[in-house]
Chain A
């Protein structure tokens, strides 16, 4: 900061020196009318620009706008060289006499954020500089001082010949190009002004109107000159142009002050209203009014699950740092993120304003955040409830299908076999006996299928004897070796036992199907009022928690008991599924 201050101090001193040099040149000139008036006015205008530019530079060091504004002042002093009596200085002065206009156009195009929005605008700015230098060239190449109505002016060092035709063609051509460029810049500037958020417009208005006005006058002056219009008009536009040019830096300072005052008013009003503990829907409107940004959105940070949501609890996405239109100001309380304001990027020009409003809104946003958290939780519950119902329906359909395709078919076939055997009993006793033996086998298979199916619905041993034998049975049936390391010594509530059992069952199914593991271990422990179920394997890892409906269903089942399900599965380092269910 002190580095910047020192640098700006040096620039200010240079400004003073350059200004005084320009003053001296003009005062000593042989070919300037009303020297004292011109010299003083020039000094006043140049210093105004440099001063206002330094203020802008100091306020927003990252914004090129301040630099450009200061540069306009210096370029303006540069044009004073045209007052010099020495021919070569005079030539340079005339050649560069319009450069300050090009810098001014550059500044206006980059207003207010210091950036040139597009390649086309960049080309316009470059063309401005070129035209600014080309414009005075014909008067240096093809005109004698007499032709220019300046008898005391020195002869240009670039003078070739006195050629009225070439001079006029050249001059009219550059003037017309300049008029087109200026017209385009006015159009772009006004369009940008129209699209800015309201609060920005308040600050921008003075610079935009005086700047655009100046450009219109300039265009008028150029046209008058090109068509060789009446001298009275040309004098009037010159005077008006100079007046508007002097006005721009003051317009800038005025705009800054005015928006300060208005914003201070808006912030005061905001503080007053926020004190009443506004309704959630009002909070956004209050913030939007205070910041003058109708597009403002308020989002809230949830701790569990960690995500941004809007006031209704729906997930929200923050714009990135590279978003050209939107920006984020985070709101913290006691060092914790509670929310964020998503606003027009142009508000970044005023971090103090957004910061102070955001800080003042902290408490309300925190309250609102708790509401949003609640709504997000309700939303999540609603979704999981719907999934549980759907899973129930799917499960019934699966059971029906299994019964239909399995045991039921076998039993029907069995009754057919028995009926045929019965009819053969007398005429072919051996055949009948073989059929009955086959029927007996079918019956055994049907019974087995029914038993498996019943276990899938709810293992009887789990209700009768608890988790330990039920898990042992699961482990025993698994093709991958499974160690049961820990089970609770006393019985848990039936719903918790069932959830724990199915977490293990699903995890073991996945171990067999996907993990490529050589072994797995199960533990169920009671910790801090929770039953913690853990199934770990030494397989390939990299399990995708969104894969299949199995894990999703488990997560729903566990969260229905207010528990949480976690999957850790780094690539190549095994998988751990852990459920924690309050008991």
Chain B
């Protein structure tokens, strides 16, 4: 087995921080450090160089979007460290701001998601390995606000599901597993979607996410 993924956790609630640490350790991650605010987080990321930082959006002192700003800074300063931002509410604006420039090693999840251990740990792993993770609720919002005469109307319900999972940042294999179909079938859907939406096919998952998000945002 390869080395465990190393994580730094930042949240101003000790209760939650401890809970997260215990959960991640329980499921095979190594929690390198915990931080109570953005400054502390940046310092600890700098010294521990973790694979991924799991960051709460709201932290002291203003309790607004410190986590988000710290995330940008981590991505800019430590490209080897992925950032998974946790938020109490779905804030589409925050999510898109985070994922607008690059989806590489970046994720945005609703905090409640952490109890769904499989998909949470999957997301942490994905972001740690250079992929992306976008909360299904954000994806649903993006898909939901499309207009009637939109090209999205021309894709089939199954293709729509695949599109949503792509937007969440999942790989073809993960999509196949989620939909209980073969990877080959997923590939066919993906090709069809890209041609219907007139998108350039991308090989890497995080580039694919970027393309899909860019398309969805352009609504």
Contacts and interface: CB of A to CB of B under 8 A. Distances in A.
B88 interface: yes
A404 B114 contact: no
A401 B112 CA distance: 17
A408 B88 CA distance: 8
Contacts of A416: 16, 19-20, 22-23, 114-115
Contacts of A424: 26
B117 interface: yes
Contacts of B16: 409, 412-413, 416
B13 interface: yes
Interface in A392-414: 401, 404-405, 408-410, 412-413
Interface in B20-76: 20, 22-23, 26-27, 58, 63
B219 interface: no
Nearest to B115: A415
Contact of A423 (B13, B112, B117): B117
Interface string A410-432: 10110111111001100000000
Given A412-B111, A412-B114, A415-B114, A420 B23 contact: yes
B27 to A, nearest CB: 8
B15 interface: yes
B19 A413 contact: yes
Nearest to A408: B88
Contacts of A420: 19, 22-23, 26
Contacts of A409: 13, 15-16
Contacts of B18: 413
Interface string B143-154: 000000000000
Contacts, number: 45
Interface residues of A, number: 17
Nearest to B89: A404
Contact of A404 (B15, B23, B58, B112): B58
Contact of B23 (A401, A419, A442): A419
A408 B23 CA distance: 18
A416 B18 CA distance: 10
Contacts of A442: 15
Nearest to B13: A409
A442 to B, nearest CB: 8
B117 A413 contact: no
A413 B15 contact: yes
Interface string A341-369: 00000000000000000000000000000
A423 B23 CA distance: 10
B26 A413 contact: no
A401 B27 CA distance: 31
B19 A412 contact: yes
Contact of A417 (B19, B63, B88): B19
Nearest to B58: A404
A404 B88 contact: yes
B19 to A, nearest CB: 4
A392 B106 CA distance: 37
Contacts of A415: 112, 114-115
A444 to B, nearest CB: 14
Interface string B98-117: 00000000000001101101
* Residue among B19, B23, B114 with max Cβ neighbours from chain A (10 Å): B19
A141 to B, nearest CB: 89
Contact of A410 (B15, B20, B27): B15
Contacts of A423: 26-27, 117
Given A404-B58, A419-B23, A423-B117, A413 B13 contact: yes
Contacts of A413: 13, 15-16, 18-19
A27 B88 CA distance: 114
A426 to B, nearest CB: 13
5 contacts: A408-B88, A416-B16, A416-B20, A419-B115, A420-B23
